[in-house]
Amino acid sequence: MSAVYINSVACISAQDTLNENFFENLQPQNSVQLLKAIEPNYKEFIPPAASRRMSKTVKMSSVASKYALQEAGIENPDAIIVGTGMGCSQDSEKFLKNVIDNNEEFLTPTFFIQSTHNTVSGQIALGLQCHSYNFTYVNTSSSLEFSMLDAKLQINDGEAENVLVGSTDEQTDRTMELYKLNNTIKEEKNLPVDFLNSNSEGVIWGEGSSFFVLGKEKTESSYAQLKDIQIINKLELAESQQFVEDFLAKNNLKNDEIDAVILGFSGDAKSDVYYTNAMDLFKNSSLLYYKHLSGEFNTASGFSTFMACHILKNQEIPEVMKINSVKKEEVKNILLYNHLGGNDHSLVLLGKA
């Protein structure tokens, strides 16, 4: 498969990533259980009447997708593909609450209609009046990777030239309560957390929305080449190094040719061992982490992809992301490794555009 170019990026996250100077103002967060996204003033982008009917994830995605399309100079993409782990859980919760409160009678269908996972891609298409291929992937922590793989195949097969790809997830009160009860979210007694040397289970949970325009042709504003993606659902710890090495061999790369590796350390002692294991393969690469900036969530890899694109374009690595002190003269290849709780492992290879 030939390379596909990432021609624009936009991200709404726990960092002020819509601000042009966000690179210098990255603030690590290690002492809260939940990391909220910094939201824009939606009135500037969405009519207030429409905004009131939209859940947080739809609003974040509408704005991030507008930024991405604007930067790429595209009015109507050839396809819209969105990855989400939890979908529109805010509206799902509202609908289920209505079912209970009204004894399953006289229910308005609005919350149910808006609670489906593909609401996000549908709302973006409605706003753009885009009648092209529209698809949503719900594959927990590899939802974005499946979306990008689909977009890459569409472009390589000549089905599309420019594809809008996004990832989005929101926090909701009841779901966060349940995550605290089953120890998915760290207990307060284990805060603040040392993301790289944690000895407790659980994570700091975040949220956010990241959008990218993938194109067949390189442009003046191109950030990176999307070279390859590998996804596996289950992986034993003993197999993790082989998983990475096979992926590099498939792309004719040696370990030393990877200039930077972005690992998804989440502070969960039980599952972070996969990253510690993978680190041993890259003694001569810049090792980076990011979930102390974004929090952990199903599509947190959207934030790491966004950061990787900026690193490749600007040839600059933020100090706050560094695990080691290795510094390459030029960043040509970045490997992203992510999973959620030890499941759904993904590798993404990005190259300099």
295-312 pLDDT, tens per residue? Answer: 999 999 999 999 999 999
Same domain, yes or no, for 210 and 139? yes
141 contacts 298 by C-beta, under 8 angstroms: yes
Number of domains the chain is built from:
2
Residue 88: the pLDDT is 82
Give the pLDDT confidence score for residue 159 in this predicted structure: 95
CA distances from 304 to 69, 144, 273, 308 (A): 20, 11, 19, 6
Domain match, 187 and 276 both: no
Domain-terminating residue out of 181, 215, 249: 215
Looking at the fold, whether 185 and 209 belong to one and the same domain comes out as yes
Answer yes or no: do 65 and 142 share one domain: yes
* Boundary residue ending a domain (195, 215, 235): 215
Under 8 Å between Cβ of 334 and 308? yes
Please report the pLDDT score of residue 114 as a whole number. Answer: 77
12, β-bridge pairs: 209
Contact between residue 267 and residue 203 where contact means Cβ atoms under 8 Å apart: yes
In a domain, 156, yes or no: yes
Q: Is the peptide bond before 192 cis (omega within 30 degrees of 0)?
A: yes
Asked if residue 339 and residue 210 are part of one domain, the reply reads no
Predicted confidence (pLDDT) per residue in 167-196, tens digit:
999 999 999 999 999 999 999 999 999 999
Q: Return d(Cα 221, Cα 304) in angstroms, integer.
A: 19
User: Are 90 and 162 in the same domain?
Assistant: yes
Per residue of the chain (353 residues), what is the pLDDT tens digit?
A: 678 999 999 999 999 999 999 999 999 999 999 999 999 999 999 988 888 888 899 999 999 999 999 999 999 999 999 999 998 888 787 888 888 888 888 777 777 777 788 999 999 999 999 999 999 999 999 999 999 999 999 999 999 999 999 999 999 999 999 999 999 999 999 999 999 999 999 999 999 999 999 999 999 989 999 999 999 999 999 999 999 999 999 999 999 999 999 999 999 999 999 999 999 999 999 999 999 999 999 999 999 999 999 999 999 999 999 999 999 999 999 999 999 999 999 999 999 99
Task: Identify the DSSP state of 205.
Answer: B
**For residues 113 and 94, what is the distance between their CA atoms, to the nearest angstrom?**
11
19 within domain boundaries: yes
In angstroms, rounded to a whole number, what is the distance separating the alpha carbons of residues 169 and 349? 23
Of 215, 248, 277, the residue at which a domain comes to its end is 215
**Spatial separation of the C-alpha atoms in residues 209 and 139, rounded to whole Å:** 16
Identify whether 220 is part of a domain.
no
Tell me: do 44 and 155 sit in the same domain.
yes
* Judgement on whether residues 155 and 191 belong to the same structural domain of the protein: yes
CA dist 334 and 352 (Å) reads: 9
**Same domain, yes or no, for 103 and 201?**
yes
Q: Is residue 222 part of a domain?
A: no
Q: Give Cβ neighbours of residue 335 (< 8 Å, ≥ 6 apart).
A: 244, 248, 258, 260, 261, 262, 347, 348, 349, 350
Residue 17 domain flag: yes
Same domain for 203 and 241, yes or no, is: no
- Residue 295 in domain: yes
In a domain, 241, yes or no: yes
Instruction: Examine the domain organization and report whether 199 and 308 are in the same domain.
Output: no
Q: Return the biggest CA–CA distance within the chain.
A: 66
Closest by Cα among 296, 229, 232 to 264? 296
Is residue 11 included in any domain, yes or no?
A: yes
Task: Judge if 198 and 232 occupy the same domain.
Answer: no
- Contact status, residue 8 vs residue 71, Cβ threshold 8 Å: yes
Query: Nearest Cα to 193, choosing from 292, 341, 110, 52?
Result: 292
Domain that residue 286 falls in: 227-352
CATH number for the domain spanning 292: value is 3.40.47.10
